[in-house]
């Protein structure tokens, strides 16, 4: 059922509606992180999108309490932050950052979603069944 | 009937026009849909033919520049990658949004990896070996199986119209796929134009359907109206058939009524005639009576000689002769004459007064005569006399009824006019226009039939070609007869 909902969300994303992109993030993060609201530190574009949801608590400072970092372009991340799980919004950031556990971005007009199995283990995160097929 | 036929024909023509409009509109719409599909098909075919040539060239270029293992060649030689990508960039236009080359790391993998990307901006550009999962993975994968190029249209990606996949085949194996994503913008222009045209045709169709329905409705209403008209015409025809019978019946009734009126009038006239005869006979009968008494008295006294006897019996004989003449005059007077004769008012009045004069004078009514007309006219003399007699008798009756002091009847003639007036005060204005109506009477003491004036007007205006009218003057009613003059008769 969750898979179907996720697929519907991905499909809806194709109309490039940010509302659906937000819903996708809600589904993914709600299944990975159990504590709600999920405390998130993100870059500017991600923050604008995610603050519309009451499932997320947007943090202005990246400290110990942050559950998740999301974005694609961080210049100065603190050492604490570099140890937090990162969800990248670009392929390059996803590939280059050791703490990234997943990514969502658009390539050639098509949505791409990927997860790193190792990162899940490292951060003791739960990889839901419906996301396993996107994990490497 | 011809009119109805023409209307029916018009109705058929209207229906035919309506049907033609509808069929025409549907035909044009079908033609448009067919043409639209053909245009799109031609557009698609020409695009595919063109892109097939381009991808063949790309394929040849890559095969020529690389070894049999494209991936290894590109991995090892970054400058080759850059050169080939620059070549791909040259092909990027408004029409071709993305041009890139992918392959599969292993046959069973559910994703592809980028080998070359013609994207111009860093944002759009993929990295070498970047894993890539297209939405229609199975279609892409089928290129590996079939080794044939394919294309499909997008409904789920908003900026892309079509994706063309061309396999790069080396030694009968698919080594990579050239992917070209067509931009929707260029295609949209054609589609939008066709959509606009389609909208116009939709309006035309709707308008045609509206016209069709309107005409059909109009034809239906018109047909109904024609049917009603036909029914009404039939009704009128039937009514006309019965109307002739009814008119005949009414004419017969009127004839019967006229007969009755005439009969009643004659009876009334007869009564009046008897009265007038009585007045005429009174004096001679009285003379016969006194002569007879004298004869009887002288015979009893034995003083009657032959000469006296002859004289007295001659007198009686003269009186009887006078009575007989009187009867003849009355008989001639009421005898209906079917031939018109020349006469004058003086002649008419002389005859009438000869009959009624004694009666009027006996009532102490003065007759004043102002006779100036010498005009000769052509008419039914006895009928005109009856009318004049009736007018004089009416004047006499009203003068007696109202017990007028110094009663007077004025008889006046001039030109073609005869006026008979009295000094009885006239006819009340509210009944002045009714005096000539049948059965209308104001006589109280004598039972008037109400037919005298009606018959008089009928005789003068319908038989004698004259006019009879009434008005009041200062003293009383004035009845005026106007006969046609000889010059008028000629006209």
Nearest-angstrom CA–CA distance, B74 and B91: 20
Fold of B336-490: Heat Shock Protein 90 (3.30.565)
pLDDT of residue A17: 52
Q: Nearest by CB to B157, which of A110, A112, A114?
A: A110
Residue B405 CB coordination number (10 Å): 6
Domain boundaries, given as residue ranges, for chain A: 2-134
Residue B364 CB coordination number (10 Å): 10
A69 three-state secondary structure = strand
A95 CB neighbours in chain B (<8 A) are 127
How high does pLDDT run on average in chain B? 86
Q: Identify the band that residue B412 occupies on the pLDDT scale cut at 50, 70 and 90.
A: very high
Nearest-angstrom CA–CA distance, B82 and B32: 48
Nearest-angstrom CA–CA distance, B199 and B207: 12
Q: Identify the band that residue B330 occupies on the pLDDT scale cut at 50, 70 and 90.
A: confident
Domain boundaries, given as residue ranges, for chain B: 336-490
pLDDT digits (tens, 9 = 90+) for B14-55: 778 878 888 888 888 888 888 888 888 888 888 889 999 999
Look at strands A110-115 and B341-343 and give their pairing. Answer: unpaired
Beta bridge partners of A110: A107
* Contact yes or no for B126 and A108 at CB 8 A: yes
What's this model's pTM, rounded to 2 decimal places?
Answer: 0.53
* Statement: residue B82 has pLDDT above 90: yes
In order of A26, A118, B378, B486, the CA distances from B339 in angstroms are 129, 148, 10, 17
Q: Which residue has the higher pLDDT, A32 or B270?
A: A32
Q: For this complex, say whether ipTM is above 0.90.
A: no
CB–CB of B341/B376 below 8 Å?
no
* Statement: residue B490 has pLDDT above 50: no
CB of A133 less than 8 A from some CB of B: yes
Pick the range with the lowest mean pLDDT from B335-349, B375-389, B444-458: B444-458
Surface-to-core class of residue B232, CB atoms within 10 Å of its CB (0-12 exposed, 13-18 middle, 19+ buried): exposed
pLDDT digits (tens, 9 = 90+) for A38-85: 999 998 889 999 988 888 999 988 888 899 999 988 887 888 888 899
CB–CB of B98/B119 below 8 Å?
yes
pLDDT of residue B131: 92
Average pLDDT over residues A119-133: 87
pLDDT of residue B337: 64
Angstroms from A11 CA to nearest CA on chain B = 7
Q: Identify the band that residue B322 occupies on the pLDDT scale cut at 50, 70 and 90.
A: confident
CB–CB of B334/B296 below 8 Å?
no
* Contact yes or no for A14 and B158 at CB 8 A: yes
CATH 3.40.50 matches A2-134: yes
CB–CB of B97/B160 below 8 Å?
yes
Nearest-angstrom CA–CA distance, B217 and B207: 15
Nearest-angstrom CA–CA distance, B12 and B2: 15
B97 CB neighbours in chain A (<8 A) are 109
Average pLDDT over residues A21-33: 88
Surface-to-core class of residue A101, CB atoms within 10 Å of its CB (0-12 exposed, 13-18 middle, 19+ buried): buried
* Statement: residue B443 has pLDDT above 70: no
* Contact yes or no for B132 and A95 at CB 8 A: no
CB–CB of A64/A80 below 8 Å?
yes
In angstroms, how far is CA B251 from the centroid of its own chain?
32
CB–CB of A53/A22 below 8 Å?
yes
Angstroms from A110 CA to nearest CA on chain B = 7
Please provide residue B53's backbone torsions phi and psi, each rounded to the nearest 5 degrees: -65, -45
Q: Nearest by CB to B157, which of A92, A95, A109?
A: A109
* Contact yes or no for A109 and B156 at CB 8 A: no
* Statement: residue B6 has pLDDT above 90: no
How many contacts (CB atoms, under 8 Å) link A and B? Answer: 39
Mutation target among B102, B134, B139, B155 for the A interface, most CBs of A within 10 A: B134
H-only helix segments in B66-119: 70-76, 78-91
Q: What DSSP letter does each residue of B379-424 carry, written as one string?
A: E-HHHHHHHHHHHHHHHHHHHHHTT-SS-EEEEEEETTEEEEEESS
The CA dihedral of B136, B139, B143, B149, to the nearest 10 degrees, is -100
* Contact yes or no for B127 and A95 at CB 8 A: yes
Identify which of B263, B253, B250, B272 has the alpha carbon closest to the alpha carbon of residue B455: B263
A15 CB neighbours in chain B (<8 A) are 158
Q: What is the CA radius of gyration of chain B?
A: 64
Which of A70-74, A99-103, B203-207 shows the highest mean pLDDT?
A99-103
Nearest-angstrom CA–CA distance, B94 and B98: 10
Average pLDDT over residues B93-103: 92
* Contact yes or no for B157 and A95 at CB 8 A: no
Pick the range with the lowest mean pLDDT from B5-14, B150-159, B269-278: B5-14
pLDDT of residue B271: 77
pLDDT of residue B115: 95
């Amino acid at each position: 059922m969750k898979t179907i909902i996720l697929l519907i969300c991905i499909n809806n994303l194709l109309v490039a509606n940010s509302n659906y992109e937000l819903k996708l993030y809600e589904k993914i993060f709600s299944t990975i992180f159990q504590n709600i609201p999920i405390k998130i530190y993100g870059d500017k574009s991600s923050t604008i999108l995610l603050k519309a949801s009451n499932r997320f608590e947007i943090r202005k400072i990246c400290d110990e309490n942050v559950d998740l970092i999301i974005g694609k372009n961080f210049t100065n991340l603190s050492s604490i932050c570099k140890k937090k799980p990162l969800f990248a919004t670009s392929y390059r950031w996803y590939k280059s950052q050791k703490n990234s556990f997943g990514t969502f971005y658009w390539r050639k007009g098509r949505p791409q979603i990927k997860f790193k199995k190792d990162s899940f283990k490292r951060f003791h995160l739960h990889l839901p069944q419906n996301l396993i097929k996107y994990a490497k | 009937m011809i009119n109805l036929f023409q209307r029916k024909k018009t109705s058929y023509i209207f229906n035919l026009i309506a049907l033609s409009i509808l069929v025409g509109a549907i035909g044009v719409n079908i033609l448009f849909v067919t043409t639209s599909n053909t245009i799109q098909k031609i557009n698609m075919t020409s695009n595919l033919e063109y892109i097939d040539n381009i991808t063949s060239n790309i394929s040849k270029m890559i095969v020529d520049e690389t070894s049999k293992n494209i991936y290894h060649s590109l991995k090892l030689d970054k400058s080759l990658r850059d050169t080939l990508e620059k070549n791909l960039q040259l092909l990027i236009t408004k029409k071709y949004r993305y041009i890139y080359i992918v392959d599969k790391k292993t046959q069973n993998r559910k994703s592809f990896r980028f080998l070359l990307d013609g994207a111009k901006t860093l944002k759009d550009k993929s990295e070498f070996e970047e894993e890539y999962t297209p939405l229609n993975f199975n279609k892409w994968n089928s290129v590996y199986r079939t080794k044939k190029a394919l294309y499909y249209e997008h409904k789920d990606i908003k900026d892309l119209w079509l994706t063309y996949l061309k396999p790069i085949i080396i030694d009968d194996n698919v080594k990579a796929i050239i992917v070209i994503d067509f931009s929707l913008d260029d295609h949209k222009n054609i589609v939008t134009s066709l959509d606009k045209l389609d909208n116009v045709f939709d309006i035309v169709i709707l308008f045609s359907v509206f016209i069709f329905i309107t005409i059909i409705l109009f034809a239906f209403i018109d047909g109904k109206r024609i049917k009603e008209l036909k029914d009404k015409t039939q009704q009128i025809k039937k009514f006309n058939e019965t109307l002739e019978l009814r008119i005949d019946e009414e004419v017969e009734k009127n004839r019967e009524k006229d007969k009755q009126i005439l009969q009643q009038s004659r009876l009334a006239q007869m009564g009046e005639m008897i009265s007038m005869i009585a007045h005429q006979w009174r004096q001679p009968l009285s003379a016969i009576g006194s002569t007879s008494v004298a004869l009887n008295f002288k015979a009893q006294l034995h003083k009657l000689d032959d000469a006296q006897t002859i004289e007295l019996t001659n007198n009686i004989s003269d009186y009887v002769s006078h009575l007989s003449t009187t009867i003849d005059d009355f008989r001639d007077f009421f005898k209906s004459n079917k031939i018109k004769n020349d006469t004058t008012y003086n002649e008419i009045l002389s005859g009438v007064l000869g009959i009624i004069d004694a009666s009027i004078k006996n009532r102490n009514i003065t007759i004043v005569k102002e006779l100036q007309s010498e005009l000769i006219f052509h008419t039914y003399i006895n009928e005109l006399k009856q009318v004049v007699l009736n007018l004089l008798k009416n004047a006499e009756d009203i003068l007696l009824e109202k017990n007028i002091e110094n009663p007077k009847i004025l008889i006046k003639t001039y030109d073609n006019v005869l006026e008979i007036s009295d000094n009885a005060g006239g006819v009340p204005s509210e009944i002045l226009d009714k005096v000539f109506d049948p059965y209308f009477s104001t006589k109280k003491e004598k039972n008037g039939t109400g037919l005298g004036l009606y018959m008089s007007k009928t005789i003068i205006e319908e038989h004698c070609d004259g006019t009879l009218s009434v008005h009041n003057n200062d003293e009383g009613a004035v009845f005026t007869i106007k006969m046609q003059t000889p010059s008028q008769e000629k006209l």
